[in-house]
Amino acid sequence: MNRSIRTIESALLVLLLFICGFMTYQRNLVWKDNMSLWTDNVKKAPMNPRAYQYLGLAYHNMEDFDHAILQYKKSLILNPLQPDVHNNIGVSYFHRGEVDTAVMHFKHAISINPAHGDAHYNLGIAYGEKGLFERAEEEIRKGMQLRRRS
């Protein structure tokens, strides 16, 4: 009787190890890159604005600005008071050549968080693109000062 219990315990242990190994393999597929990780997060937590934010960043890093903007907008629908998302969507619009829309988002990020150094810096770059060099210098300088403080 003792031997049969040990055989059953051993079989269950082997089965448990197999299941854990298979689950680890499946999770590794999800964690292979940022795109797969954040796509999985959006599927599993569709009401999480951060998942959309980081999926947008993954698209942006692949230079797919249209999809990045779409994901950032979904994040902002769930939580419009995210200065980092407004800054990021501004950067994506800037890369698409839509400087005025980028400026609007950088300003919105600053209105939410006046100490957002990246938004000030990016606003300065956008102003420079528009030929507003004095304003550009002022915002870039302010952005750099705020970055040093944080």
Q: Does 19 score more than 80 pLDDT?
A: no
Q: State pLDDT tens for residues 66-122.
A: 999 999 999 999 999 999 999 999 999 999 999 999 999 999 999 999 999 999 999
Q: What's the whole-model pTM score?
A: 0.81
| Best CATH choice for the domain 33-149 from the list 3.40.50.150, 3.50.40.10, 3.40.50.1970, 1.25.40.10 | 1.25.40.10
Separation CA 72–CA 29 (nearest Å):
24
CB proximity list for 140: less than 8 A, separation 6 or greater: 120, 121, 124, 125, 128
Domain boundaries, the chain: 1-30, 33-149
What does residue 64 show for φ and ψ, rounded to 5 degrees?
-100, 80
Separation CA 139–CA 117 (nearest Å):
9
Are residues 122 and 106 in contact, defined by beta-carbon separation less than 8 angstroms? yes
